[in-house]
Amino acid sequence: MEQQARLRAIKLKRKFNSSDIELQIDQMRTIQILLNLISNAIKFSPENGEVEIESNCVSAESDMIKVNISVIDHGIGISLED
């Protein structure tokens, strides 16, 4: 991903909450989703642009923790029809 961004002069910004937590997830699927989102963000952002990747842990009901992961870009976006 970093090489793909470098070729298009796109700055990757990372902002991760430093909390150490253990997640019970499908690791392969989660990685696949994140790589797809980041790759698309780089591909459809204008050259010399910026892609931000953020994660935050948020308290939720009972003993569960909600993790928000965001991939933010300034590309063309998805049309309203889609």
Examine residue 10 and state whether it is found in any structural domain, yes or no: yes
Q: Is 0.85 surpassed by the pTM of this model?
A: no
Cα angle vertex 45, ends 39, 51, to 5°? 65
The enclosing domain of 33 has a CATH number of 3.30.565.10
Q: Domain tally for the chain?
A: 1
Examine residue 77 and state whether it is found in any structural domain, yes or no: no
Report pLDDT for 19: 66
Report pLDDT for 33: 95
Provide the β-strand partners of residue 55: 16, 69
Cα distance between residue 35 and residue 33, in whole Å: 6
Chain CA centroid to CA 58, Å = 17
Report pLDDT for 17: 73
Per-residue CA distances from 35 to 40, 56, 58 (Å): 8, 18, 23
Examine residue 82 and state whether it is found in any structural domain, yes or no: no
Report pLDDT for 12: 94
Q: Which helix (H) or strand (E) holds 70?
A: strand 65-72
Report pLDDT for 18: 64
Q: What is the pLDDT along the chain (82 residues), one digit of tens a residue?
A: 889 999 999 999 999 876 667 778 899 999 999 999 999 999 999 999 999 999 888 766 767 777 888 999 988 887 888 7
